Structure 1
């Protein structure tokens, strides 16, 4: 702290206190935002309670999904995508705890404020890359499913293979990384003075790139709409409709449960992305920002990443059978190990105590 610097009302109006920038000044320009008690309670319940609860359950479900789809007997082109989707959803949930929950705790905890700022330059690009991966993988898996039910045998055999799925996934990872690389240059961390906690802290500020109007228009308005919002949703609606129509005409029954599972996963994706898409369009077209809708749309991102396991287990007969097999074997091994340990304890001679 610079003891010679002042922290008067006048210096605070300039965004300075004891020689530091005031935390929050660089992104709201010193404006005081009045938050109603109703919204504060709503935000706490949605982001502080419901989101982490669903997210924790989602981590368990996605871990079980990734484990099951990685088993040798479950290997197929479609299941490779579902395994990758489970992994990307795990990253989305973990980073959502940071981006949404920890950010929500900033106004309630000094350490949350500090670590949110320190980790933001890393976690922010990772979170958005994982979301892009989830979108691209969902589209790729839907197309794989369409080829599986609608293409000719020769093309189906060539395209719907594990090797092709791996090549497509590697390409998707590269595209997602390149597409989200600008986010690494959007924010930076500064030392600042927290008027709330009356101490030095860290804060995140936008770079000139993040505030550039042309960048916001091209990258956030047009590219985001095409790559992450309207584009994928329209594609998935068309592909899903084509899959359903083709299935009704087809006489193939071999992998019907897997196809139904994928169709429902796509339906869940579309349903959960309607609200975020609406929020983005309202902000883009009408400059309308509604904090209630933003919180709900953030919750829907986590819901989408957390609920696929329920679909896999309810409608995927192979998935359900494989998961039960491994869980049953794990339970039997653990039970046998406990029984063996108990027998060993019973067989041990009584310990003699020498006085």
Structure 2
């Protein structure tokens, strides 16, 4: 960690910042932001040589479209996790779908830090510092949630074929496996204090550790294990499971018999579409990984689109649940009606309390006695007051 810096007295002659010190990775006693991974934005690149089209593309895709889809996904997954956790929706497959919704919430939240903040840190010193501070925690957490989502999707897809009796214990085991698989990410990056040349003030940056720089580790863990465990392996397995479930569904419809276990036809259709969405959204990330692993090609446009597809996959399951899950839709409508009745009754009670409660003016008013008038009675005359 040779680039760690601390606040210094800028009046000392030895603490300089010029082209020579910048090339050596130092400025005013700080490490230069970006030096530890080979990129220094010192403003020397002419404007006409910068890829302004990519900056616009990145701002639209990552800075605008991804947060909009992610906000919808947070709402949808919150509703999904609530509905699938209800007593009347209790089944082994729904336990996995509830856990899947929770993992998708984590994926979306961490994507705001890892993707949106990473894009915004070119435009704001606050985003630059916040990204570097949050990255060591959000990076392993987001990848663990992504692994959990993959494992849960495969388990839920296989549930209607092979009924798993202890679904809660299975979810706990899957969570532990996802955390164990992604534990090495905790030791891949660290945060340093650095000098930002574009903003001309101290900031923070993320640097890779020796483990992350080890070529054998990157080749085995990132290239081959990721492809087998997170990409190609689950995709092929899900395609086989989906095909089998589709054939079973056709057979049950043809023979006019009920589906076995606790999965009805609506659940099977829902699950088939969830798996189809997963496969569709993960084709591009797999392609990006294969291009980088086999041909050493890194296309920033494809990387941004693959990150967007990860968020799309985590955000759109609610639409499938509502459109094709009859039990899900019925339960959601029941709770919506109950919430409307509860709100209406609460408003009625509040109105009644306000009517019964005396106004503050009447409560604090002081009443003075009326003056007593004398009655004068004279013969053969009317009463005079």
> Is the TM value for this pair above 0.5?
yes
Contact 2:66/2:308 (8 A) holds in 1: yes
Residues in 2 aligned to 1:222 and 1:86: alpha-carbon distance in whole angstroms: 28
What is the CA–CA distance in structure 2 between the aligned matches of 1:160 and 1:121, rounded to whole Å?
36
What TM-score results when the alignment is normalised by the length of structure 2?
0.86
The offset of 1:347, in angstroms, is 3.1
Aligned-partner Cα distance in 2 for 1:44–1:30: 21
Q: CA deviation at 1:101?
A: 0.6
With the length of structure 1 as denominator, give the TM-score of the two structures. 0.93
Counterpart CA distance in 2 for 1:287 and 1:331 is 57
* CA shift digits 1:169-222 (9 cap, x unpaired): 111111111110000000011111111111111110000110110001110111
Counterparts of 1:69-148 in structure 2 under 5 Å?
69-147=84-162
Point out the more displaced range, 105-114 or 302-311: 105-114
Query: Higher relative contact order by CA 8 Å / sep ≥ 6: 1 or 2?
Result: 1
Which of 327, 331, 338 aligns to 2:340? It is 331
CA RMSD of aligned residues (A): 1.5
Secondary structure at the aligned position of 2:210 is classed as coil
Compare the two structures and name the one with the higher helix fraction: 1
Task: Report whether the alignment pairs 1:204 with 2:214.
Answer: no
Aligned length: 342
Q: Distance in 2 between matches of 1:90 and 1:216?
A: 28
**Match 1:346 to one of 350, 355, 363:** 355
Map 1:269-348 onto structure 2 (within 5 A). Answer: 269-348=278-357
Equivalent residue, structure 2, for 1:154:
none
Bigger Rg, which one: 2
Distance in 2 of aligned mates of 1:331 and 1:284: 54
Shift of 1:242: 0.8
CA–CA separation in structure 1 for the residues paired with 2:251 and 2:357 = 69
State the distance in 1 between where 2:248 and 2:27 align: 66
Q: CA deviation at 1:109?
A: 1.1
Is the 2:34–2:41 Cα contact (8 Å) retained in structure 1? no
Q: Within 5 Å, which residues of 2 pair with 1:207-286?
A: 207-250=209-252, 251-253=257-259, 255-286=264-295
**Alpha-carbon distance in structure 2 between the residues aligned to 1:2 and 1:13:** 21
Structure 1 residue 295, shift from structure 2 partner: 0.6
Does the Cα contact within 8 Å between 2:41 and 2:198 map onto a contact in 1? no
